[in-house]
Amino acid sequence: MFHIGHLNILHRAKQHCDYLIVGVSTDELCQSYKHKKPIVPYEERKSIVEAIRFVDEVVPQIDRDKFGAWKKLKFDVMFVGDDWKNSTLFNELETQFQKVGVSIQYFPYTQGTSSSELREKLNKIE
């Protein structure tokens, strides 16, 4: 679920690149690894992200294969929240990306907000 932390990452990312491509996870991908149906459907989430002035292009994220995404899009920097730093997934990616000249830039996690927290609050309202 899109929140201020996502907006902060997009804003910071655009400050460090000329052309910002954003992957939006498809509903199927969200369900496959989060085991939850997204509250906001993919097409609506995509439209929201496309409307953000920092974003130049939105692509569907159909899997979690970031190296495969690089093969298609040929980016030179990947931006991600620092909550992923030192995770097994991103440690492996850093090694893979180093070999092809791609860096990963981590931005500070926005404290006090997350999609999970928003979902919990919404569940309490119901």
- In the chain, the N- to C-terminal Cα span, in Å, equals 17
The residues assigned a catalytic role are: 34, 36
3-state secondary structure of 110: coil
- Three-state secondary-structure class, residue 91: helix
DSSP 4-73: HHHHHHHHHHHTT-SS-EEEEE-HHHHHHHH-S--SS-HHHHHHHHHTSTT-SEEEEE-SS-HHHHHHHH
